[in-house]
A and B are shown apart, each in its own frame.
Chain A
Amino acid sequence: MRRLLLLVALVAGPLLYFTRRRDERRERVNLYYDDGSMVTLERGQPGSERLLELAHASLR
């Protein structure tokens, strides 16, 4: 039983971690302009942190 639990923890732990990281990386802000162009700012890019923080505040 212990071995089984250990195996589940070994598989599920990294899986959950990487899923969460991937979801975090998917967080982005798209800016649309009047000429039809669009700029995507993903987490980590300059200026994105403030926009994502405000987007989070909007959902709260």
Chain B
Amino acid sequence: MDTASALADLSEISSQIEAAVVFDSEGGVLGSTGADEIHARRLARAALDLVAAAGQVGLGEGRRLTQIEGSLREGSVFVVTGEGRSLAATTTPDPTSGLVLYDLRTCLRSLAGEAAEHAAKPRRSRKKEPLEKEPPRKKKPPKATEPDA
């Protein structure tokens, strides 16, 4: 599934999500739900900084940070990190966190699937195998004709 389709599905499924953006490890926007590119870039940058700051808090202890949820009065912000790309979303206040995180993970997984497909070598066209030949029919032995009496 491509990024635009995955984000469109996400917006359709989760009514609590106001904006979502997919970004790479450098903060580059790979796709967003809104038409406002500046807002998408700002959200991606803030989310990237949030991931970096969360890593510096020092609570990881060898564990890898996978998700962040920031609950504020005016709304919530969620960040789900993946291999090479992450997904950030803002929601209305007091969202159903579990559902939002599940939807974001599903969206990111579908994008990871797409990336894996692209990374895979192009498939060789398989040779068409000849259809199984029917075993040669045995010729029926000619009926013995009774000699005319």
Residues of B within 8 A of A31 (CB): 54, 57, 59, 65, 67-68
Chain B neighbourhood of A28, CB < 8 A: 70-71
- Tell me the interface secondary structure of chain B in the complex: mixed
Find out whether the CB atom of A51 lies under 8 angstroms from the CB atom of B71: no
Q: What is the chain B residue whose CB lies nearest that of A29?
A: B70
- Within the assembled complex, what's the spacing in Å between the Cα atoms of A31 and B58? 11
Chain A: interface residue count, which band? Answer: 20 to 34
User: Which of B58, B63, B72 is the one whose CB lies under 8 Å from A34?
Assistant: B63
A60 touches B42 (CB 8 A): yes
CA distance A44 to B110 in the complex (A): 38
The interface residues of chain B lying within 8 Å CB-to-CB of A34 are: 63-66
- Knowing A33-B65, A34-B64, say if A58 contacts B77 (CB, 8 Å): yes
Q: What string of 1s and 0s marks CB contacts (under 8 Å) between B38-59 and chain A? A: 0000110011011001101111
Contact status A58-B47, CB under 8 Å = yes
* A3 contacts the other chain (CB 8 A): no
Do B50 and A58 have beta carbons less than 8 Å apart? yes
Interface string of A12-33 (1 = CB under 8 A from B): 0000000000011011111111
State the CA gap A56–B67 with chains docked (Å).
17
Residues B46 and A58 in contact, CB atoms below 8 Å apart: yes
Other A-B pairs, 16, CB within 8 Å; known A24-B73, A30-B70, A34-B65 = A26-B73, A30-B69, A31-B54, A31-B65, A31-B68, A41-B57, A47-B59, A50-B53, A55-B77, A56-B72, A57-B42, A57-B46, A58-B46, A58-B77, A59-B74, A59-B77
Q: With A and B bound together, what is the CA distance between A59 and B90 in angstroms?
A: 6
Given contacts A54-B49, A58-B46, A60-B42, contact A27 B73 (CB under 8 A): yes
